[in-house]
Amino acid sequence: MQEPKVYVVDDDQGMLDSTVWLLESVGLQALPFTSGQAFLEACDASLPACVLLDVRMPGMGGLSVQEALRTRGIDLPVIFVSGHADVPIVVRAFKAGASDFIEKPYNDQLLLDSVQAALGRASQVQVDSHERGAVQARIDSLTPRERDVFVPLVQGFSNREIAEQLEVSVKTVDLYRGRVMKRMQAEHLPALVGMAIACGVVQALQMRG
């Protein structure tokens, strides 16, 4: 797991410097930007990170930066820091998925706690992504016959129904079912179904029942 980063975006150079100093004083890696556009150009979606965003900046304001991240499919926790925390702006920020909204001048510990919580979420998202990749690799390793059993199995068909579909014996389906469970490292059927849904093999709405 790579070291998490905190992007700090603020057009006030003094505020930017003091925020970066605060984050670095507790061992966090802070990357400063004086404009939303510069941040978007440098943002690396593959790293665990969060964003401290000023709301009001020349050119591209914080809410516009948040929207640009969402449009690009970049799921980084966003913490707004603003001296202008009027209710409509706060509501818009949270509706668009903001992690937190902190007023300037901020309390140092409050900001640090919020950043640590956001980085925890960002790291978990990345872990989930890595786990999905590992599950997909296991699905890709299934033989054609194992896959023939795997797909109807996670859709909710019984061994007998699968046997009829494939025109084989129930005993043969039992054999392949055991191989699928072992290869997929699934302890039970619900776990196998969860893997299939997470990797898009079947949609939750396509399940029988």
Q: What is the pLDDT of residue 133?
A: 84
Same domain? For 81 and 170 the reply is: no
Is 99 found in the same domain as 146?
A: no
Indicate whether 77 belongs to any domain.
Answer: yes
Same domain, 104 and 199: no
163 contacts: CB under 8 Å, gap ≥ 6: 169, 170, 172, 173
**pLDDT single digits (tens) 118-166:** 888 877 777 677 788 888 999 999 999 999 999 998 888 889 999 999 9
Percent of the chain with pLDDT over 70: 94
* pLDDT reading at 198 higher than 80: no
Same domain, 108 and 13: yes
Tally of domains in the chain: 2
pLDDT of residue 168: 95
Residue 91 has pLDDT above 60, yes or no: yes
Q: What is the CATH number of the domain that holds 169?
A: 1.10.10.10
* Strands laid side by side in the 49-54 sheet: 29-33, 5-9, 49-54, 78-82, 100-103
Q: What is the pTM of this model?
A: 0.63
Give residue 85's pLDDT.
Answer: 65
User: How much is the mean pLDDT over the chain?
Assistant: 87
Residue 83 has what pLDDT?
Answer: 83
Domain membership of residue 22 (yes or no) is: yes
Minimum mean pLDDT among 49-63, 67-81, 112-126: which range?
112-126
Q: pLDDT per residue over 39-58, tens digit each?
A: 999 998 777 899 999 999 98
User: Is position 135 within any domain?
Assistant: no
Q: Note down the domain range covering 179.
A: 141-206
Is there a domain that residue 52 lies in? yes
30 shares its domain with 106 = yes
Please give the average per-residue pLDDT across 169-180, as a whole number: 96
Residue 202 above 70 pLDDT? no
Give the position of tokens 């302890």.
187
Q: d(Cα 129, Cα 47) in Å, to the nearest integer?
A: 12
The residue ranking higher by pLDDT, 153 or 205, is: 153
Q: Is residue 6 predicted with pLDDT exceeding 50? A: yes
pLDDT for position 36: 95
**Cα gap 15→19, rounded to integer Å:** 6
pLDDT of residue 15: 93
